[in-house]
């Protein structure tokens, strides 16, 4: 079990009151599997990812990442854990305009103290794994939207995370390119053994994930069992 949230409650200040974004949410994602999270806008999907990513500390509940309980871990140790064990893919790729595809990935390795040579090799391998062989020296404006999202995914894998958190990666893509990105994510999840959470509002992409859960007003419920393969 590489990601385990239990009884997580998160509130945000809302005028004089508090808004409950996550209401006693429990979720376990085993290694090598993909759990899709669906639900209407404002239901708490991104908040769930932010808590799983240790970017926000919940009011209550426990977040265990790769066997480490993050409760009361402290800022520095949480940041180190995040860097080593969590890969995050945001909705927009946020690539750096002046860097090539390989360099976007190498920046991540630099943060973790890897040698430039091994970082370059790893970047090239990951770019090949996401279908971008031969594109390593292209800059973002020389890539399509789908290709940029693939660079974004490869970058999240650079430090070999145990947990992969992905927020609506297909929202800027047409159906076929979106489906290809979800296929890629489920394949990478199986090959690399990551515990993957995939937020999406496109139900057409759900046939290859292992489980679908649904958020509604901050509550989570299992929507379907294992999806047909």
The correct pick among 45, 148, 150, 155 for binding ligand ADP (CB under 6 A) is: 45
The correct pick among 3, 21, 29, 136 for binding ligand ADP (CB under 6 A) is: 21
Q: Give whichever of 45 and 150 is closer to ligand ADP, judged by the CB atom.
A: 45
Closest by Cα among 177, 229, 189 to 206: 229
The correct pick among 2, 29, 44, 212 for binding ligand ADP (CB under 6 A) is: 44
- Provide, rounded to whole angstroms, the least separation between the CB of residue 44 and ligand ADP: 4
- Provide, rounded to whole angstroms, the least separation between the CB of residue 43 and Mg ion: 9
Stretch that binds Mg ion, among 44-52, 124-132, 204-212, 215-223 (CB under 5 A): 44-52
**Residue count, binding to ligand ADP (CB under 6 A):** 11
41 touching ligand ADP, by CB under 6 A: yes
E strand spans, 30-112: 34-38, 60-65, 68-69, 86-89
42 touching ligand ADP, by CB under 6 A: yes
- Provide, rounded to whole angstroms, the least separation between the CB of residue 39 and ligand ADP: 6
- Integer CA distances (angstroms), 1 to 29, 33, 55, 68, 211, in order: 6, 10, 20, 11, 15
Helix (H) / strand (E) containing 146:
helix 145-156
d(CA 224, CA 170): 21
Closest by Cα among 189, 217, 212 to 202: 212
19 touching ligand ADP, by CB under 6 A: yes
């Amino acid at each position: 079990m590489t990601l385990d949230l239990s009884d997580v409650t998160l509130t945000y200040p809302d005028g004089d009151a508090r808004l409950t974004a996550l209401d006693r949410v429990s979720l376990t994602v085993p290694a090598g599997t993909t759990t899709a999270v669906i639900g209407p806008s404002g239901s708490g999907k991104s908040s769930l990812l932010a808590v799983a990513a240790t970017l926000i500390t919940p009011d209550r509940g426990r977040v265990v990442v790769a066997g480490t309980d993050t409760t009361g871990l402290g800022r520095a140790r949480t940041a180190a854990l995040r860097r080593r064990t969590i890969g995050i893919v945001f909705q927009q790729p946020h690539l750096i305009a002046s860097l090539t595809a390989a360099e976007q990935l190498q920046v991540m390795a630099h943060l973790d103290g890897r040698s430039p040579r091994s970082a370059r090799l790893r970047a090239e391998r990951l770019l090949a794994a996401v279908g971008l062989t031969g594109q390593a020296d292209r800059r973002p404006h020389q890539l399509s939207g789908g290709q940029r999202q693939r660079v974004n995914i490869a970058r999240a894998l650079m430090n070999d995370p145990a947990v992969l958190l992905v927020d609506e990666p297909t929202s800027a893509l047409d159906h076929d390119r979106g489906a290809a990105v979800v296929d890629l994510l489920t394949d990478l999840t199986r090959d690399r053994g990551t515990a993957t959470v995939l937020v999406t509002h496109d139900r057409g992409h759900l046939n290859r994930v292992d489980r679908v859960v649904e958020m509604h007003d901050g509550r989570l419920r299992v929507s379907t069992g294992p999806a047909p393969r």
